Structure 1
């Protein structure tokens, strides 16, 4: 079943493309510019016609010279015609080059826009399977290859095709018998090209994959440079990089070997010689004149460039088709999350229910098993458990980054799948331990997802998140660009900027996933008090190991190995649940010592 992906209004007013095959996809992109493409064909045709007239006029000059007395007026006429056709060919070539370049740049832009829109619309399951470096290679290198495919690739192919067809037509005007060997050459040339292109496509496809491997590994190493250096793995990574580069080089050599076996020029030489013997034979039989012989030989020479340039044009085209196939591999992968643009778009009140929810990032390896609980509007929920128990997964399901394999989740009585996804996510604020900040100004990072906030709103959010003071100390204040992933800020500063961003969005549901782990206790208490005041009456989820935060929760959900093993408040769980005590014994000895009721392990009823 196919779901509706994220879509944006096409700012270029383009129609949907045909993604059934790489060639049809490319053609559908080109046909967005039918008029310009048609004009480029017209000028390509006119260039070939002008070029083919030149040998005819030269043959006519030769004929006039061989017919004494020489008619000077005719010589001048044909000389002027040669000049005019030469100028016409030049102007036509320049114009079609400009038009083709325009189309190639637009197609590159449109294809990159289509791929990017498709990628950000895919579900997280899709992104979990993809290497970032490979996605970057496809979005940059493969899309760029489409540009090269059209100009000079397609341009040269069309030039070659017309550069063969038009001279053959002109040869037929001289004498049909002269077509014998040129037509035999064209037939053998097409048969050869079919096998040449088939062999080339296979290797071109493997070369694009090898290029992606280089990009993927390079991205991983650069992103994890601290780890590589800390583990002294520079030499090993260099060895892996060299291996990948050598693989790419090997395919490049294979392409070179295929190109070296381009026998078309040899075929042309043989058939040109046969055509010469044949034309001399016709001249001897007085079927053609000396001028027609010279014109024929001139037209025959026009076949040389199309034959020669195809070795490069076909190579570029094959690599372009391979790149298009790799791009379509991503675009045609169905998303597993339906954006449901016609779904529910209400303001969230906060009545949340998980009913028998089971989920695994790989279906055969469950992370959550039959989780059920209810949350009322305005409640604060703490999700507690050992590392790897599935706490963060619960919040990802609530944000509908993934859908459960079994069971369902509802908000305000509506199944999560019935909500308009954009409406749903716009009302959920998420702050994770590993905060991601963009290489923009602090102001732009806080504004992310908030389109109507004023300068005063930004500052108030930063003050509530205890970020205003350190932001003011930065060189450019709120306009300070913080570098990729916020590298110029400390961990605690990044978390406070992310909290300010979440506060500014004024969400109906706030999720704090160990969001204050890098912040000192006093600042953390101040932030929690501020957030509690701002989000009063709204639902908040806390994933934390800090007992001070857990105690304040209205509901504590205890997860162990993907199963819900307890639900209640801090005091009741501490007294009644052995799993809860095993986590917090070392942090909460006072509660254990002062417990007045005997400690008995019981099963906690789950709503």
Structure 2
């Protein structure tokens, strides 16, 4: 899939509505008791509604028109009032239960979506902005709440009500019932026509809304760059353009959506005129009584009301089905990197690493590494050097199996890393990526992220080892000092030291440092290097560093260029060869000098 930005609409597949609706309703299965309770309340409410017109007919025809029995009329009225008060309490209880039920279901959908996203490979996140993913987890899931409410409170009850009303009308008078149903086929054709166009409109709106969300997320994340280059004006224009696109898509979708109610109301009016015209003629000929006509008129309203409610539900279904499609599209995305069938738990490792003829590309058609082979003994420190874009970071990404290779084999203590579980593989590695990321919370919490069961003493020990302890204790609350997302209150060097302590705390057998000291001043770097030597004793380590002066003590230096391993050896051996490493080192030495 090509990389998607906030400027481009996401490619989504249109799902089939009924199977997708059934899939949504399956989330109700764990809450069968709550659903049955709601249905019981709905049945009580529906029964009262259906009997009300019959009581009205009995009161008119038997207690007013024929006998003028006032006490009997009052008794019927009292019964009607009592039943409707009971129905009112049932309605309130139904709404409360439905609110609890829908919130539980949305919680489960959001949890499933979030947990599935955690299993997806880096490639999935490389290809789309974080804001578009966030739009699915938050906005699209929220939009399903009304859909669930309507499914239980509108769809099934109104279908039952519509069938019951039709049966009662046919029992009361077949001719009047047929006149009432005369307009329904034309209504169905019109609603299908409107639905198709409304659904396309709402799918487009979801895409435009996702673009806007992605832009805002990206803009807020890069606000320092925006303000640093005085680019607020351009950002405002971009935002305004995306807002106009979203508004245009929304207005277009709403225009079709609003036709639902208008079409149903027109059909309701025309159908009522037909029934009243026929009813008055039948009343004149004596085929029906006044009470029956009044009762039938009430059932006529009860016939059209569920049709109106069902059209509203269908409208809501069309509006929010686009959100369901986007949610299930993520849930149906198979994790690219996952445990193989029969994968074994990787036992505690010594740290032997071997690449055998490895070829890899983020796009399989464009290799980043070509036929790379090398071996690393347990406990060795390995430095990866080479020009930018040579493939150094790709090598350490493959060791952790963040991506799968196209050709070759990667062995860890003789185990093919594709045949062991991801958890057992990555839990034995400590990784400090080039892009240092800290979470909002305390400094202590961020260091503890390396090992969640670590004690406070172990956290302090790790911080001292990388010389982060000194600046931490000088802060207002020490280790309990709150920092913002990405460590906004800390300098770049301080953020890297905290992240370095986090990696050290995990006590890994293999330690991976990607440009770990790139933003630390020379004095602090010397202190960190001393801590590294102490903590790396007995561990295999891979270090990427542009400062070649920092990796002279490495047991082995791998020189990567254009995706190939060009040279390897110690610093002294490579300097004697006077090859690529020698040229890189001398160019940097002369530049520094």
Structure 1 counterpart of 2:251 = 253
Please state if 1:404 is matched with 2:405.
yes
1:432·1:512 contact (CA, 8 Å) conserved in 2?
yes
Structure 1 counterpart of 2:523 = 522
1:19·1:332 contact (CA, 8 Å) conserved in 2?
no
CA deviation map 1:284-316 (0-9, x unaligned): 343322111111111112234334445543332
Please state if 1:317 is matched with 2:317.
yes
Structure 2 counterpart of 1:460 = 461
Structure 2 counterpart of 1:264 = 264
Pairwise CA RMSD: 2.2
Please state if 1:386 is matched with 2:377.
no
Structure 2 counterpart of 1:12 = none
2:180·2:274 contact (CA, 8 Å) conserved in 1?
no
- Structure 1 SS opposite 2:354: strand
Please state if 1:189 is matched with 2:187.
yes
CA positional deviation for 1:466: 0.6
- Counterpart CA distance in 2 for 1:88 and 1:554 is 83
The 5 Å alignment of 1:442-461 reads: 442-461=443-462
Q: TM-score, normalised by structure 1?
A: 0.90
CA deviation map 1:122-163 (0-9, x unaligned): 011111112111001011000001112122565334454344
Please state if 1:168 is matched with 2:169.
no
Moved more, 410-419 or 19-28: 19-28
The 5 Å alignment of 1:532-571 reads: 532-571=533-572
2:362·2:368 contact (CA, 8 Å) conserved in 1?
yes
Unmatched 5+ stretches in structure 2:
1-15
CA positional deviation for 1:200: 1.7
CA deviation map 1:375-419 (0-9, x unaligned): 000100000101111111110000110111111111000111012
Structure 1 counterpart of 2:13 = none
1:381·1:557 contact (CA, 8 Å) conserved in 2?
yes
- Counterpart CA distance in 2 for 1:107 and 1:469 is 48
The partner residue of 1:98 within 91, 96, 99 is 96
Query: Does the C-alpha gap of structure 1 residues 193 and 130 become closer, same or farther in structure 2, counting only changes over 3 Å?
Result: same
- Structure 2 SS opposite 1:344: coil
Structure 1 counterpart of 2:209 = 211
- Counterpart CA distance in 1 for 2:237 and 2:148 is 36
Query: Does the C-alpha gap of structure 1 residues 19 and 130 become closer, same or farther in structure 2, counting only changes over 3 Å?
Result: farther
2:467·2:531 contact (CA, 8 Å) conserved in 1?
no
Query: Does the C-alpha gap of structure 1 residues 418 and 206 become closer, same or farther in structure 2, counting only changes over 3 Å?
Result: same
- Counterpart CA distance in 1 for 2:451 and 2:494 is 20
- Counterpart CA distance in 2 for 1:183 and 1:35 is 37
- Structure 2 SS opposite 1:536: coil
- Counterpart CA distance in 1 for 2:566 and 2:320 is 56
Structure 2 counterpart of 1:414 = 415
2:208·2:242 contact (CA, 8 Å) conserved in 1?
yes
Structure 2 counterpart of 1:594 = none
Structure 2 counterpart of 1:425 = 426
1:433·1:495 contact (CA, 8 Å) conserved in 2?
no
2:552·2:571 contact (CA, 8 Å) conserved in 1?
yes
CA positional deviation for 1:114: 0.6
Query: Does the C-alpha gap of structure 1 residues 522 and 231 become closer, same or farther in structure 2, counting only changes over 3 Å?
Result: closer
Please state if 1:236 is matched with 2:234.
yes
CA deviation map 1:300-342 (0-9, x unaligned): 1223433444554333221221101001111111121123584
CA deviation map 1:23-54 (0-9, x unaligned): 23212112232232233233223212211211
Query: Does the C-alpha gap of structure 1 residues 30 and 201 become closer, same or farther in structure 2, counting only changes over 3 Å?
Result: farther
1:339·1:422 contact (CA, 8 Å) conserved in 2?
no
CA deviation map 1:73-104 (0-9, x unaligned): 21012101220231233223223222222221
- Counterpart CA distance in 2 for 1:115 and 1:192 is 36
Please state if 1:56 is matched with 2:82.
no
The 5 Å alignment of 1:250-329 reads: 250-262=248-260, 263-310=263-310, 312-329=312-329
The 5 Å alignment of 1:85-164 reads: 85-152=83-150, 155-164=153-162
- Counterpart CA distance in 2 for 1:181 and 1:399 is 72
- Counterpart CA distance in 2 for 1:410 and 1:20 is 48
- Counterpart CA distance in 2 for 1:252 and 1:164 is 32
Unmatched 5+ stretches in structure 1:
1-17, 591-607
Moved more, 444-453 or 345-354: 444-453
Structure 2 counterpart of 1:70 = 68
- Counterpart CA distance in 1 for 2:531 and 2:226 is 40
Please state if 1:497 is matched with 2:472.
no
- Counterpart CA distance in 2 for 1:169 and 1:93 is 25
The 5 Å alignment of 1:354-365 reads: 354-365=355-366
- Counterpart CA distance in 2 for 1:237 and 1:553 is 46
CA deviation map 1:461-486 (0-9, x unaligned): 11101111111111221111111111
CA positional deviation for 1:251: 1.9
- Structure 2 SS opposite 1:371: strand
1:45·1:162 contact (CA, 8 Å) conserved in 2?
no
- Counterpart CA distance in 2 for 1:219 and 1:278 is 62
- Structure 1 SS opposite 2:524: helix
- Counterpart CA distance in 2 for 1:87 and 1:177 is 34
1:344·1:420 contact (CA, 8 Å) conserved in 2?
yes
1:368·1:390 contact (CA, 8 Å) conserved in 2?
yes
1:137·1:215 contact (CA, 8 Å) conserved in 2?
yes
1:382·1:555 contact (CA, 8 Å) conserved in 2?
yes
1:196·1:258 contact (CA, 8 Å) conserved in 2?
yes
CA positional deviation for 1:66: 4.2
- Counterpart CA distance in 2 for 1:249 and 1:589 is 58
- Counterpart CA distance in 1 for 2:84 and 2:410 is 74
- Counterpart CA distance in 2 for 1:587 and 1:239 is 43
2:450·2:504 contact (CA, 8 Å) conserved in 1?
no
- Structure 2 SS opposite 1:552: coil
Structure 2 counterpart of 1:225 = 223
1:122·1:337 contact (CA, 8 Å) conserved in 2?
yes
CA positional deviation for 1:276: 1.4
- Counterpart CA distance in 2 for 1:546 and 1:250 is 52
Moved more, 455-464 or 82-91: 82-91
- Structure 1 SS opposite 2:483: coil
- Structure 1 SS opposite 2:587: coil
- Counterpart CA distance in 2 for 1:526 and 1:35 is 63
